[in-house]
Amino acid sequence: MATNLWTRDELILAFNLYLKLPFGKMHSRTPEIIHLANIMGRTPDAVAIRLTNFAHIDPYHQQRGVKGMSGGRKQVEPIWNEFINDKDKLVFESEKILAEKENMTIETKFSEILYGTKDLKGENKIREVKTRVNQNFFRQVVIANYSGKCVITRIDIPDLLVASHIIPWSKNEDERLNPENGICFSALYDKAFDKGYITITEKYEVLISSALKKKEKEDYYLKYFSHLSGTKLLLPKKYHPRKDFLQYHLDSIFKG
């Protein structure tokens, strides 16, 4: 009997979904898995197995002793290595393939986030479209990693959540799309973190800057910040913030 081998495009789509799903949702009843299976012409069980193949080679899960399923290692490992070597390229390629499978173009699927790029031309447009699509992918991955909740407030309304970079997008190209470089905050705490008014220690506790403490007599400080010092973050089940990234934020962005 002939085996219906997975194509490279199909493996890339499975990897795209692997990064977007919490580990506990990698089963055939998950709506996102059913959707991908439908547009690929495969069964939800087959897609779910591919996701566990990626889990098998994911260093994060290997460190935790989670083995996943090793049977498809030879097929999925090249895709994983492509991602490690050039995250920007593979993420954008995966989003283009997904849009095509859904009978859309990148421009139509992401029309909202691509607003304002219509008049750009040539390389400028290609670069801006790729940047925005990849940033949106990073947002999806980080918010899913934290189960759709702000690590401080537990707010779970997606429109109010931000995928914050620990090392800023402009400072390290290699880690722009690394889920370990992201934390899910609600808007106020995202801005406070981004501007260095708060940081996160290697023990995953909130630290308030001396610059912010100067406002300790203000009502807004009492309401939104006074209780934060030493607060433990809501940690994800999958990718924790990398400690060397947190140290960078403490050393280079935090306002002392």
SS3 242: coil
79-89 confidence digits (pLDDT tens): 999 998 899 99
Tokens of 63: 């460190």
Q: How far apart are CA 218 and CA 64, in angstroms?
A: 44
| Helices (H) then strands (E): counts for the chain | 12, 4
Q: How far apart are CA 10 and CA 210, in angstroms?
A: 51
113-127 confidence digits (pLDDT tens): 999 888 888 989 999
11-61 confidence digits (pLDDT tens): 999 999 999 987 778 899 999 999 999 999 999 999 999 999 998 888 877
193-228 confidence digits (pLDDT tens): 999 999 999 999 999 999 999 999 999 999 999 999
**pLDDT-based confidence at residue 68 (cuts at 50, 70, 90):** low
What residues form DSSP beta bridges with 185?
162
| Residue 67: per-residue pLDDT | 60
| Residue 2: per-residue pLDDT | 46
**Average pLDDT over all residues of the chain:** 92
